[in-house]
Amino acid sequence: MKLDKLKIAGITVIALLLFVSAAKASTNNSGLGFTVQGDLVSSYIWRGMYQTGASFQPTLGLNVAGFSFTVWGSTDFDGYQASEGLANKEIDMTAAYTFGNTGLTLSVADLWWAGQGANKFFNFKSKETAHHLEGGLAYTLPIEKFPLSMAWYTMFFGMDKNAEGRQNYSSYAELNFPFSVKRVGLNVTCGVVPYKALQYYTNSFAVTNVALKGTTEIKITDSFSLPIFAHAIWNPRLEDMHLVFGFTLKP
C-alpha cells in the first residue's frame, strides 16, 4: 500500500512539474494549437509487434508553449464480434513537455488496450487495472543535417507485472533517423528491449523493431493532398515481418 501511494505521489509531482513548466513558458508564447486527424492502416504494429488487422486510428491533440496533451486511439473492424472478445480497442493519453530548443522532451503516457467489452476503464487499482502508465524521455540532436533522435520508455505502474505479481518496469529504447529522397520522406527506426519483459516476449536484451517508413502525398486538388505511407517492419526477436500501408485524413 505504501509503495502504491509513493507511485501515485510521483505521478502527481511529474504532472505538476509539466504544468508549471508549461505555465511559465506560456508567458513568453501564447500560441495555441490543435491536432485533429485520423489514420487508416492495413494492420496495426506496435514497437515491432503485431496487434491486429486493418484499423482506424484517430488523434486529438492540444499544444501550447511546449506543453502537449494528446489522445490517440485504435479500433479494428471486428467490433461486431466484441462478445467473443475479438475486437481490438486501444486508447492512449499522453502529456508531454518539450524544453525549448534543447531537443529534450519529457512525457507521461497512459496506455490502455484491454479491448472492446473490457469496460472498467477508470479502474486504477494496481493489481486490477488494465492500464499501463509509462514515462518517456526523448532527445533529438541539434544538428540540422543529422537529426537523430533517441528515446527511452519505462512502464512504472499498472498491468505490467512479472511472474511474482510485482511491477516489472518493462522498458523500450528507440533510435530514429529521418531523411528524404526527392518527394518521399523516409525514417529509419531501430528499437530494443534492454532486459526481460513479458510485454515484449523477451527474456533478455532483444532487438524488436527495425523499420523503414516512407511518406508522400497524392495531389487530389490544388488545395488538397492525401498523405500516404508504407511501413516495412522487421522484428528480429520474434522473427516476424510486416508491411503496412496507410493514409492520413486531416484538415
Q: Are 64 and 96 in contact (CB under 8 A)?
A: no
- Residues with Cβ within 8 Å of 49's Cβ and at least 6 positions away in sequence, in order, are 200, 201, 208, 235, 238, 240
Q: How far apart are CA 98 and CA 11, in angstroms?
A: 18
pLDDT confidence of residue 165: 85
- Domain count along the chain: 1
pTM, 2 dp: 0.83
- Residues with Cβ within 8 Å of 61's Cβ and at least 6 positions away in sequence, in order, are 34, 35, 36, 68, 69, 70, 71
pLDDT confidence of residue 31: 79
For 225, what's the count of Cα atoms within 13 Å in the CB-facing half-sphere? 9
pLDDT confidence of residue 116: 82
Q: How confident is the model at residue 9 (pLDDT cuts 50, 70, 90)?
A: very low
Q: Which three cell numbers stand for residue 9?
A: 505521489
State the average pLDDT over residues 73-97. 81
Where is pLDDT greater, at 105 or 101?
A: 105
Q: Cell 467489452, residue?
A: 117
Where is pLDDT greater, at 116 or 129?
A: 129
- Range of 62's domain? 2-249
pLDDT confidence of residue 10: 52
User: 193-246, pLDDT tens digit by residue?
Assistant: 999 998 899 999 999 999 999 999 999 988 889 999 999 999 999 999 999 999
Q: What CATH number does the domain containing 88 carry? A: 2.40.160.40
Q: How far apart are CA 32 and CA 104, in angstroms?
A: 20
Q: How far apart are CA 135 and CA 130, in angstroms?
A: 17
Q: How confident is the model at residue 22 (pLDDT cuts 50, 70, 90)?
A: very low
Q: How confident is the model at residue 112 (pLDDT cuts 50, 70, 90)?
A: very high
Size of the chain in residues: 251
Most confident region among 22-26, 38-42, 111-115 by mean pLDDT: 38-42
